[in-house]
Chain A
Amino acid sequence: MLLHPERLKSLVRAAAEQVIASAPELTALDQAIGDGDHGVNMKRGFEAVLGKLETIGTQPLDEALKTIGKTLVMTVGGASGPLYGSFFMGAGDALSHSKRLPDDLAEVFGCGVGAVSARGRSQPGEKTMLDVLFPVLETLRSEAGRPDLIERVRVAASEAVARTVPMQATKGRASFLGARSVGHVDPGAKSSCVLLHAVCKTLEAQ
């Protein structure tokens, strides 16, 4: 599947720029319950993605997703590199194996989410990015075909981030804090939401 290069590039650029702009906020969240490097790591990774924008723009969508994933794996330099990398590579793989957009959007997204879950050996409820990705996947499944799907995804992501606040982390560095991880937004959930919101905004504008 080949998206118009300018359309693909504007989606990737918007997502990357939004993550880069959110780096200070992500860092602050990670300083509260982690090692404080999430913002700078994501920024490094998405700057590298921006550096490959011209290549990505010429690729079929499955290859473009895999390029983004591999770039993140090689440059982020924290657990979020393999986790986000697995999401994009997993979604790209699904498209390489006969899935089509927009009809199979939920399945393609689901393959990405499944890859993150497998990579992190984690499930929803552990105060991680999966606590945004799974509710969004559920929304994509249940609301497929609705004209306001984009708005519903946006709301689902925001609400899911808020629901990480009372959770106690049982995966990742925040789990070392035990009960003290309660009362904070999970940084990975937040960065997932930032990415999803950027994609939603760009799709609406297109």
Chain B
Amino acid sequence: MTDTVGIVIVSHSKDIAKGTADMVRQMVGSEVKLAFCGGNSEGGLGTDVPSILEAIDKAWSPKGVAVLVDLGGAETNSEMAVEMLEPERRGRVVVCNAPIVEGAVMAATEAAGGSLLDQVRAVAEELSAS
């Protein structure tokens, strides 16, 4: 299998993260490395840096990883997690400014076609209304 960009989904809710991952799988099957996390360390709503680091590691690809997030804390914690990665990985993980469900599905579909990280991110971010 050729390497594809990995996809990580970070939601405040484990159910949303898992549901989004299910929708991604429906589109791309197992062609793309995919991991998700949601909720805080006590099982409540929230986001958690160690879980994000673990998900990035699980979805790791030499082509990099695109992270899709929901609300503010998910973004802040994901950016923090990226900074805590070892230097050789840090530059190859991007947090996308995109809606989580649509962004994840679009990014994964693009990744499955073999696109590079910048292109995967660009496709996801076309969805954001900025």
Q: Do A and B come from one complex?
A: yes
Q: How far is the CB of A40 from chain B (nearest CB, A)?
A: 8
CB distance from B75 to the nearest CB of A (A): 8
A206 to chain B, nearest CB (A): 33
Is B29 positioned at the interface, with any CB of A under 8 Å from its CB?
Answer: no
CA distance A74 to B71 in the complex (A): 19
Cα A172 to Cα B47 in complex, Å, equals: 14
| List of 4 A-B pairs having minimum Cβ-Cβ separation, nearest first | A77-B40, A82-B80, A79-B73, A79-B76
Binding site for B on A (CB under 8 A): 35, 37, 41, 44, 73-75, 77-79, 81-83, 85-86, 119-120, 171-173
Nearest-neighbor residue (CB-CB) of B74 within chain A:
A79
Q: Are B76 and A119 interface neighbours, CB within 8 A?
A: yes
Question: Are A44 and B44 closer than 8 Å at their CB atoms?
Answer: no
Of chain A, the residue at the smallest CB distance from B53 is A74
| Contacting residue for B49 out of A41, A74, A83, CB 8 A | A74
Question: 27 pairs across A/B with beta carbons < 8 Å?
Answer: A35-B45, A37-B44, A37-B46, A41-B40, A44-B41, A73-B49, A73-B80, A73-B84, A74-B50, A75-B41, A77-B40, A77-B46, A77-B48, A78-B47, A79-B72, A79-B73, A79-B76, A79-B77, A81-B77, A81-B80, A82-B76, A82-B80, A85-B80, A119-B79, A119-B80, A120-B76, A172-B72
User: 1/0 contact trace for B71-94 toward A, CB 8 Å?
Assistant: 111001101100010000000000
Once bound together, how far apart are the Cα atoms of A120 and B84, in whole Å? 16
Nearest A residue to B44 by beta-carbon distance?
A37
Contact yes or no, A78 B49, CB < 8 A:
no
The main secondary structure of chain A at its interface with chain B is helix
Nearest-neighbour CB distance to chain B for A51, whole angstroms, equals 14
A123 to chain B, nearest CB (A): 16
Tell me, in angstroms, the Cα distance from A119 to B72 when the chains sit together: 11
Residues of B within 8 A of A81 (CB): 49, 77, 80
Question: Chain B nearest CB: distance from A205 CB in Å?
Answer: 34
CA distance A77 to B73 in the complex (A): 8
Fill in one digit per residue for B18-59: 1 if any A CB lies within 8 Å of its CB, else 0.
000000000000000000000011101111111000000000
CB <8 Å contact, A37 and B80: no
B71: A residues at CB distance < 8 A: 173
How far is the CB of B90 from the nearest CB of chain A, in Å? 15
Contact check: which of A73, A78, A82, A120 meets B46 at CB < 8 Å?
A78
Closest to A75 in B: B41
Contacts of A85 in B (CB 8 A): 80
Q: Residues of A contacting B79 with CB < 8 Å?
A: 82, 119
Instruction: List residues of chain A with CB within 8 A of the CB of B46.
Output: 37, 41, 77-78
Q: Cβ of B45: which chain A residues have Cβ within 8 Å of it?
A: 35, 37
* A44 vs B46: C-alpha distance when bound (angstroms): 13
Residues of chain B contacted by A73 (CB below 8 angstroms): 49, 80, 84
